[in-house]
Structure 1
Amino acid sequence: MKGKDLFIIIGIIGIVLMMIIPIPVFLIDIFLILNISLALMILLVAMNTKEALEFSIFPTILLISTLFRLALSISTTRSILQHADAGKVIATFGSWVGGGEVAIGFIVFLILVVVQFIVITKGSERVAEVAARFTLDAMPGKQMSIDADLNSGLINEQQARERRSKIERESDFYGAMDGASKFVKGDAIATIIILMINLVGGFVVGMAMHGLPFQESLQTFSLLTIGDGLVAQIPALLISTAAGLIVTRSASEGNLSDDVTGQLLKYPKMLYIAAGTIAVLGLTPIGPIRTWPYAIILAVGAWYMQKMQAQKLEQEELLVEEQEIEEVRNPESVISLLQIDPIEFEFGYGLIPLADTQQGGDLLDRIIMIRRQCALELGLVVPVIRIRDNIQLKPNEYVIKIKGNTVARSDLLLNHYLAMSPGFDDDSITGIETTEPAFGLPAIWIDESMKERAELSGYTVVDPPSVVATHLTEIIKRHAHELIGRQETKQLIENVKENHPALVDELIPSILTVGDVQKVLAKLLKEKISIRDLVTIFETLADHGPYSKDPDILTEYVRQSLSRQITQQYSPSGDTLRVITVGPQLEKKISESVQQTEQGSYIALDPVSTQQIYQRMNEQVNRQIQSGTQPVVLASPTIRMYLRQILERTMNEVPILSYSELEPNIEVQSVGVVNL
């Protein structure tokens, strides 16, 4: 064994022997001073610990110190009864604390016992019991939190192991403190019993064995007994206080002095109120001599703390400014400027009330609803939309940016309403002519007095926030294919993998890569086909991916698998679907113009034929729009994607479907034919 291990063993055995073997009076004095020193040292350590586990040996020390104190009480009792002497320490405490009066010393001793037993010991015991119970109840939740942090990559295995060990040690510590507090309680009870035994026994022994008169025996043994009780009770009080400090400072972030100065003296204004109250108290018969010095000290302390807090705040501001300047000077700080937000909404200062909740603006709430709507309709998780004011814009102007580039801009009049004509104009409706930004329809801005008349005339009247929300929604739908990249696709794949791991494991990466899947999803979104049914999309890609990696061909297969969804999208109630069909001559012309290359297939039409297709298609589309129905083009599956390539730049909003993308039970009516 090491020397320190042997020393501890001999010390504990010696404590036990003290209860049996008589020891000299001078050793009793030494051990009593040692007991007080150890108790004081334990209290100071408890005051300077930041958390309970830093003093995890405290329950064991509490047991040993209690045993040592009881052994000393037995030794001093033996010496008092046998020799009517227990050393200088006990004699000094007995005569000094009570002023030589037995009654005063006895009362002081009783007060100390009451303070320790009823106040400190009882409170510490209750706090330790509750802390042990709640620590044990909180263990499962803490373990789950550690597992969650480990699975998300916030901590590594070593850190998780350390946290689990800390939780176990906390549970063991508070459980041990709950039991150790019973030692303190028992020590207080034992001290009272020993006092009573010493008083009665000492009085009897003094008269019977030592032959002392009644008065002298009572005086001598009472002072020695009270001195013995005081010498034992003071260390017990210190250790009980240390136990209370340990178990009541579980939510602390520093030692006791830091917490007192940082929390109790945190509000200087409260000290001014306290100083004023003490000063007013001096106007009573108590007198200003006893109260005003304290009021002055409190007021000066409050002024000094305010000054220190101001200096600290100034230093923090200077430090922040220096850090910002240093970051600007740092060559690596340029990297942060390269970050581009996926979607930005910028507006002039005149439109600030739109986004300011204190002025009744609900733009932020509307954007939340837009993201939910896009998730339901398109299956796309729209990135966070950055909202900021821009003094370079006109006061009533706003712009929408996709990846840093402006894709739309318009003006708003906050105190007006946007009225769109039902198809015939009412001359009594007057306002500022404009264009509805989302769909490009002619409209006028009207004021509040004109709103009711416009609604009665059949106009569609909307408020400025609704105009912005509609415009922003349409822009997101129109550019949805630009917002889905590989990272966003990866997130969607992980979401599907939670419920369909076999499907994802088969598809990625053995058949297709994340980039291949992203291209197919982008092509679907480009034609406003929802990708919410990712399971069907992934099943189709897993079936046809081994035979072709061409994203255009894979997209056609996916569209055919989503036939029910596409049919309901263009014929929600199952009504007859009116379409513009492609004539046989045009289909043959397109089929003959398809060129096959190693990178895929593409359409190669001569400019004259391309222009004819534009003209014929434009005639049929305009006829459909004038009749009040949505134009839909129907082509054969073999040429659908090539016709989409031809019309992509001029008629991107016109949907082009194939026969395979429609359900067999839907009735289709041809209202026009496009031919060469």
Structure 2
Amino acid sequence: MKARDLSVLLGVILIIIMLVIPLPGWLLSILILCNISLALIVILVSMNTQEALQFSIFPSLLLLLTLFRLGLNVSTTRSILSKADAGGVIDTFGSFVIGNSPLVGFVVFVILVIIQFLVITKGSERVSEVAARFTLDAMPGKQMSIDADLNAGLITEQQAKERREKVENEADFHGAMDGASKFVKGDAIAGIIIVLINIIFGLIIGMVQMDFTFMEAVNTYMRLTVGDGLVSQMPALLIATATGIVVTKTTTTGNLGSDVSGQLLQYPKLLFIAAGTIFLLGLTPINFFLTTAIAACLGLGGFALLQQMNTPEEPDVEEEEQMESSSMKSSENVIDLLNMDPIEFEFGYALIPLVDADQGGDLLDRVVMIRRQLAIELGIVVPVVRIRDNIQLEPNAYRLKIKGNEVASGELLLDHYLAMGPDMDDDTIDGIDTNEPAFGLPAKWISEEDKDEAELAGFTVVDPPSVVSTHMTEVIKQHAHSLLGRQETKQLIDHLSESYPILAEEVTPEPLSVGDVQKVLAKLLRESISIRNLPVIFETLADFGRMTNDTELLAEYVRQALSSQITKQYVGEDSKLNVITVSGKVEKLIAESIQQTEYGNYLALDPQSQETIVTTIHEEAEKLSLQEETPIVLCSPAIRMYLKQLLERFLPHVAVLSYNELEANVNVQSVGVVNVA
């Protein structure tokens, strides 16, 4: 056991000894001085703490110090009544205060006790009671605020845990202070009673047992009683004041000394008003020289504060270097390096005008519009895009990163326009051959002089900011499923619960966890299905979530529930849809090749059949692409997800729909059939 821990235990044992065993005067003097020292330390610590929890041991310490002081009172009372002597400290205090008038000393002592009991102790007790009540009442609101910040992604799980612990500790502390303040009140009452006992019984014992005259008994026992009361009430007064400081401390950035000096003297001009008022008082019969001196001190203090406020503080170079060095060495700084931005846009130095508003760049505004557009189209909140320049890139190059991995790149010529058209072999328009970055179409970079001519020739002409914003939009759409994690899913669920609380509670956390819901939503986003209609999605999950926990199968049920949305996404106003259908033979082959395992179902199709199916669909999809139509494969619901899994690696842009995902009024036209030999 450490020496400090052992000293506390020995101190408690000493208190018990004082209550039973008489102590010599010299030892009482030592203990009295220790009591005063401890009280001074407590009040100084309470003044230098920035918040109450930094002195969280104070309620227990208050109990121990009160018990120690009462033990001293018992020992000194025993010594006063039995020996008419309680050590040099008490005798010196009594003689100094009483002087030649025991009555005056007694009155001084009574005033001190009244101040402690009626002012400081009473106020501290009331403040402790109110603080404890308001802290407990505010606890649920603080917990909800922490949960809201956690759900919004403003704080981490560890930070939320620390904040919750702080809220609980505050409630425990103020509850303990409410009880501990009662000890201070009881100590003041006990001090008054002990003084009366010492005086009354001291006079009786002095005149009966020790043959003192009445005046000798009064002088002796009044001196010792007042001295004992002072040496016990002075620490009690300090402890009561410390209690009031701790329970009245509000949230500040400094200790009591800095707060008082900083806030009391924050308006130096008011010192001039105070100085003028004191000077005017000197014109009355009050001492003119005294008031003038005080007014001069106030005026000089105000002038000095004004000079200090008008003089800018020069930063301490050495201190800044030390802080920077310690910051780089701290473990927290290293942990911050692990943070990764969900979306990053990096560009070469030649593309700085894209983002510089002073040079007419509006890319930042375009990114805001992209996030709003994708929220409407896909139903997700796209994370903030971190935009930064990178000198390691080519001057005109840029690249997009998703969670630290490069997913797209391109080049821009800021003084050119990108021209795209059906016939890029047309030599009438001069330009630099390239590919449009978003869709890979052939294009040309043309000068501003050729812009009007290209538009007249039927080319689509786009400025560089539109090129990069379109590219960014398409890339984020393609990777939307990877941007939707559990944290983002929890935010969507919380948003849904504001309008549909019963629906959200019926789905999560039972029968589906947040991770299960995230997998279903990511599956939809992977196939470019918007998840904005969360009520319909959660209605389906509530219906089928208790039947199966297979997220792949649940995603299929959700797709069928979103049939009107999917139909509107792929079918035009004429309600006509050209598709590639799957023959019954292929559907039977796929259905028979589905393997069921405890970890889920997967398609185990022989390589030759896979190649035939993929090749046939690829040929038919190219025909539809030449007609500027979206290639769509239509099949039965039983095999849809397995066929999509087969095509996802080779033909990711081919949409695979089932009959149940189209409304009955759609005019389906088969332009090709997938078959095997």
TM-score, length of structure 2 as denominator length: 0.57
**Residue 383 of structure 2 is aligned to residue 375 of structure 1:** no
**Residue 267 of structure 2 is aligned to residue 259 of structure 1:** yes
**Residue 497 of structure 2 is aligned to residue 489 of structure 1:** no
Report deviation, 1:157: 8.4
Distance 2:545 2:565 in 1: 22
SS in 1 for 2:364: helix
**Residue 343 of structure 2 is aligned to residue 343 of structure 1:** yes
**Conserved 8 A contact 2:344-2:400:** yes
Distance 2:503 2:343 in 1: 32
**Conserved 8 A contact 2:400-2:472:** yes
Residue 332 and residue 417 in structure 1: after superposition, are their counterparts in 2 closer, same or farther (change >3 A)?
same
Deviation track 1:612-640 (CA, whole Å, cap 9, x = no partner) reads 11211111001111122111110111111
**Residue 545 of structure 2 is aligned to residue 552 of structure 1:** no
Q: Name 2:579's counterpart in structure 1.
A: 579
Residue 675 and residue 323 in structure 1: after superposition, are their counterparts in 2 closer, same or farther (change >3 A)?
same
SS in 2 for 1:388: strand
**Conserved 8 A contact 2:345-2:398:** yes
Q: Name 1:314's counterpart in structure 2.
A: 315
Report deviation, 1:161: 13
Report deviation, 1:254: 3.6
Distance 1:671 1:263 in 2: 92
Residues 118-157 of structure 1: matches in 2 within 5 Å?
151-153=144-146, 156=167
The code of the aligned residue for 2:267 comes to D
Q: Name 1:631's counterpart in structure 2.
A: 631
Q: Name 1:240's counterpart in structure 2.
A: none
Report deviation, 1:545: 1.0
Report deviation, 1:302: 13
The code of the aligned residue for 1:314 comes to P
**Conserved 8 A contact 2:424-2:442:** no
Distance 2:649 2:501 in 1: 39
Q: Name 2:535's counterpart in structure 1.
A: 535
Q: CA RMSD in A?
A: 3.1
Residue 263 and residue 615 in structure 1: after superposition, are their counterparts in 2 closer, same or farther (change >3 A)?
farther
Q: Name 1:430's counterpart in structure 2.
A: 430
SS in 2 for 1:406: strand
Q: Name 2:439's counterpart in structure 1.
A: 439
Report deviation, 1:608: 1.2
Distance 1:663 1:397 in 2: 45
Report deviation, 1:367: 0.4
The code of the aligned residue for 2:467 comes to V
SS in 2 for 1:313: coil
SS in 1 for 2:670: strand
Residue 333 and residue 257 in structure 1: after superposition, are their counterparts in 2 closer, same or farther (change >3 A)?
closer
Distance 1:391 1:262 in 2: 55
Residue 262 and residue 573 in structure 1: after superposition, are their counterparts in 2 closer, same or farther (change >3 A)?
farther
Residue 598 and residue 434 in structure 1: after superposition, are their counterparts in 2 closer, same or farther (change >3 A)?
same
SS in 2 for 1:383: coil
TM-score, length of structure 1 as denominator length: 0.57
Report deviation, 1:159: 7.5
Residue 334 and residue 570 in structure 1: after superposition, are their counterparts in 2 closer, same or farther (change >3 A)?
same
The code of the aligned residue for 1:400 comes to L
Q: Name 1:522's counterpart in structure 2.
A: 522
Q: Name 1:646's counterpart in structure 2.
A: 646
Report deviation, 1:324: 2.2
Residue 255 and residue 595 in structure 1: after superposition, are their counterparts in 2 closer, same or farther (change >3 A)?
closer
The code of the aligned residue for 1:513 comes to S
Residue 253 and residue 510 in structure 1: after superposition, are their counterparts in 2 closer, same or farther (change >3 A)?
farther
Distance 1:429 1:638 in 2: 52
Report deviation, 1:304: 7.9
Deviation track 1:294-348 (CA, whole Å, cap 9, x = no partner) reads xxx9xx9999869953xx3222x54343222112112342111111111000001
Distance 2:387 2:371 in 1: 14
Deviation track 1:484-539 (CA, whole Å, cap 9, x = no partner) reads 00000000000000111111111111211100000000000000000000111111
**Conserved 8 A contact 2:435-2:444:** yes
SS in 1 for 2:535: helix
The code of the aligned residue for 2:339 comes to Q
Distance 2:495 2:271 in 1: 46
Percent of paired sites with the same residue: 55
Q: Name 2:280's counterpart in structure 1.
A: none
Q: Name 1:414's counterpart in structure 2.
A: 414
Residue 161 and residue 576 in structure 1: after superposition, are their counterparts in 2 closer, same or farther (change >3 A)?
farther
Distance 1:377 1:320 in 2: 49
Report deviation, 1:541: 0.7
Distance 2:610 2:428 in 1: 46
Q: Name 1:590's counterpart in structure 2.
A: 590
Residue 319 and residue 624 in structure 1: after superposition, are their counterparts in 2 closer, same or farther (change >3 A)?
same
The code of the aligned residue for 1:607 comes to P
Residue 255 and residue 384 in structure 1: after superposition, are their counterparts in 2 closer, same or farther (change >3 A)?
closer
Deviation track 1:455-475 (CA, whole Å, cap 9, x = no partner) reads 111111000000010000000
Deviation track 1:237-258 (CA, whole Å, cap 9, x = no partner) reads xxxxxxxxxxxxxxx9944534
Deviation track 1:434-473 (CA, whole Å, cap 9, x = no partner) reads 1100000000001110000001111110000000100000
Residue 253 and residue 365 in structure 1: after superposition, are their counterparts in 2 closer, same or farther (change >3 A)?
farther
Distance 1:448 1:261 in 2: 63
The code of the aligned residue for 1:386 comes to R
Report deviation, 1:417: 0.4
Q: Name 1:472's counterpart in structure 2.
A: 472
Distance 2:643 2:485 in 1: 26
Deviation track 1:50-98 (CA, whole Å, cap 9, x = no partner) reads xxxxxxxxxxxxxxxxxxxxxxxxxxxxxxxxxxxxxxxxxxxxxxxxx
**Conserved 8 A contact 2:268-2:305:** no
SS in 1 for 2:652: coil
Report deviation, 1:657: 0.2
Distance 2:637 2:512 in 1: 24
Deviation track 1:637-675 (CA, whole Å, cap 9, x = no partner) reads 111101001001111111100000000111111111111
Q: Name 2:562's counterpart in structure 1.
A: 562
SS in 1 for 2:268: helix
Report deviation, 1:585: 1.6
Report deviation, 1:261: 8.1
Residue 501 and residue 306 in structure 1: after superposition, are their counterparts in 2 closer, same or farther (change >3 A)?
closer
**Conserved 8 A contact 2:602-2:642:** yes
Distance 2:639 2:351 in 1: 48
SS in 1 for 2:381: coil
Q: Name 1:668's counterpart in structure 2.
A: 668
The code of the aligned residue for 1:450 comes to D
Distance 2:143 2:506 in 1: 27
Deviation track 1:409-449 (CA, whole Å, cap 9, x = no partner) reads 10000111000123464321111111100000000001110
Residue 357 and residue 624 in structure 1: after superposition, are their counterparts in 2 closer, same or farther (change >3 A)?
same
**Conserved 8 A contact 2:346-2:390:** yes
Report deviation, 1:556: 0.5
**Conserved 8 A contact 1:147-1:160:** no
Residues 320-359 of structure 1: matches in 2 within 5 Å?
320-359=320-359
Distance 1:523 1:403 in 2: 19
**Conserved 8 A contact 1:563-1:660:** yes
Report deviation, 1:571: 1.1
**Conserved 8 A contact 2:268-2:306:** no
Distance 1:146 1:467 in 2: 52
Distance 1:673 1:253 in 2: 86
Report deviation, 1:145: 12
**Conserved 8 A contact 1:422-1:460:** no
The code of the aligned residue for 2:414 comes to L
The code of the aligned residue for 1:453 comes to E
**Conserved 8 A contact 1:426-1:457:** no
Residue 400 and residue 629 in structure 1: after superposition, are their counterparts in 2 closer, same or farther (change >3 A)?
same
Distance 2:651 2:385 in 1: 28
SS in 1 for 2:267: helix
**For this pair of structures, how many residues does the alignment match?**
409
